[in-house]
Structure 1
Amino acid sequence: MTPNQFEIFSDFRDEFCTYCMKMNKAYGDLLKPLQIAASADDTPDYPVETPVVYNSALDEITEKSDIRMIVIGDNPGKDEQLDKNKKYLVGQSGKLAAGFFEKNAEFNTDFRKNVIILNKTPVHTAKTTHLKYLLKKGGNDVRTLILESQIFMAEKTAMLHQALCNNAGEDGIKPELWLVGYAELKDKGLFLGYKKELSEDYDKTEEFWNRVYVFQHFSMNRFSIDLKTFMSKHSGLGIVEAAHELGSLHKKEIFG
């Protein structure tokens, strides 16, 4: 990163970390029993250790890091919230994502070194759909937290992405933003607050909005299957060009 890019990223990182610490202090005791109850019917017992998860992998990024992408998942799952991890996309979905970029050198991207990984909300649940339980059973405080955390993440992510692009200069990289997991961005989805805020913060500014792409989630290999299917119908495209076209198509489907 350029010195300006790293300063911008560092400010974002500090603000995000502080936000998660405050939310854990304010809501941790309220969230833990809800998070356990939400998973009771379809998830083996596991320890809820971090109700609101900051991605500690961000602390490993330095000015020497070449950041090529910002990847946005849904929310931290079981593995991500463990004290020994506190990192995003370290479970099966993350392994699939890392494997995809390792196999496809055309992207020139190491998923663990060249990517800023964020989520639509830092509020943990074992499965994303469990957020519905928290919204239903958590009362006004929890509902407000989940909605406001989406708005916070969308606003700060949009600002970060655009500022990194603006301050790339001749030596820096203008990163792409990959929004993965679009099912809950559709009508009546869990992340409509994130979707609305993100759209407003870009205001469809062409220079930056053209570097935003929307995809299926890495989980259960849906991202790779979707891309492979798209490429089978567009045989003349290389994998990077195909990903950009597919991501633009899904972006239009979601954002109009």
Structure 2
Amino acid sequence: MTEAQWNVFCTFRDAFKKKCGEWSKFSSELDSLQKTAASSDTPPYNIETPVVYNTALDDITKDSVIKLIVIGDNPGKSEQLAVNSKYLVGQAGKIAEGFFRRNPELKIDFRKNVIILNKTPVHSAKTKHLNFIDHELKSKDSKACNLILESQIWMAQKTAELHKALYDAAVQEGLSKSDLPELWLVGYTELKKGGIFIPYKETLMKEYEGSDAWGKVFVFQHFSMNRFLVDLKQFCKENPDLKLTSAISKTGTIHKKEIFQ
């Protein structure tokens, strides 16, 4: 990273770590709701980290080359384990890692060149469980009643700031358009009408107003259950003359238009 990019990243990382610490004050209350939400369709498991900071961010150094920011939904069962406390380390993460490894022309190591974030750091076994957690927090008039909303807005604002700053610094360095850092929103079901992540979507779009970096924001199916791969393979099948990089950007643009209408 350039000096400017490194400073921007460190500012973001420190603020994110501090914010997760603040939100973790509600862990005991979240823990019980997360267990209740999971009980309907998930085998029992130990909840170790109700609010998950991605410790993989601490492994990034000034020498790291960041080419991509990937935004998942929220930390799942594997991510919240104390031994992990990292994002996309479950099956979906392995699929993503494998995709980039099998396509070296993309020149991206998923564990070295990618900043992985979520739309909220609040854990749930399944993303849809956030609706129950959010409803219960509000119905109990808890001090954490706005946590799901607040965390989404904060993450959208700070993530957009991070991407725009990395993008602008890369432009100033004279990088070619194809080498400018991208942001991938991976998983968009809950970004649609009535979804839990509507506040994230609306905030993100507002933060990019007037910024050229918006052109490097793309939307994809989630890596889980191979949805990303199936979707991309189908597009490549229908457009056999396209190179993989073009197929990825066009697929991501199609879904972006669907979500950000």
TM tier relative to shorter chain: over 0.9
2:217 counterpart of 1:212 = yes
2:240 counterpart of 1:240 = no
Aligned to 1:23: 23
| Cα gap change, 1:204 to 1:192, in 2 (>3 Å) | farther
Instruction: Map 1:144-183 to 2 at 5 A.
Output: 144-168=146-170, 169-170=172-173, 174-183=180-189
Instruction: Map 1:1-256 to 2 at 5 A.
Output: 1-25=1-25, 27-139=26-138, 140-141=141-142, 142-168=144-170, 169-170=172-173, 174-203=180-209, 205=211, 207-256=212-261
Q: What's the offset of the Cα at 1:174?
A: 2.8
Q: What's the offset of the Cα at 1:132?
A: 1.2
Q: What's the offset of the Cα at 1:133?
A: 1.1
Consecutive unaligned residues of structure 1, counting only runs of 5 or more, are none
Q: What's the offset of the Cα at 1:30?
A: 0.9
Partners of 1:246 and 1:143 in 2: CA distance = 37
Partners of 1:68 and 1:24 in 2: CA distance = 30
Counterpart AA for 1:127? K
Partners of 2:4 and 2:203 in 1: CA distance = 25
Cα contact 1:2–1:171 (8 A) shared by 2: no
Partners of 2:192 and 2:235 in 1: CA distance = 21
TM-score for the superposition, normalised by structure 2: 0.95
Cα contact 1:68–1:109 (8 A) shared by 2: yes
RMSD: 1.2
Query: In structure 1, the residue corresponding to 2:219 is in which secondary structure?
Result: strand
Consecutive unaligned residues of structure 2, counting only runs of 5 or more, are none
Cα contact 1:134–1:143 (8 A) shared by 2: no
Equivalences, count: 254
| Cα gap change, 1:204 to 1:234, in 2 (>3 Å) | farther
Counterpart AA for 2:243? G
Higher mean C-alpha displacement, 243-252 vs 161-170: 161-170
Counterpart AA for 2:39? A
Counterpart AA for 1:238? K
Percent sequence identity over aligned pairs: 55
Partners of 1:241 and 1:224 in 2: CA distance = 15
> Deviations for 1:220-245, whole angstroms, at most 9, x for unmatched residues?
00000000001111111011110000
Q: What's the offset of the Cα at 1:170?
A: 2.3
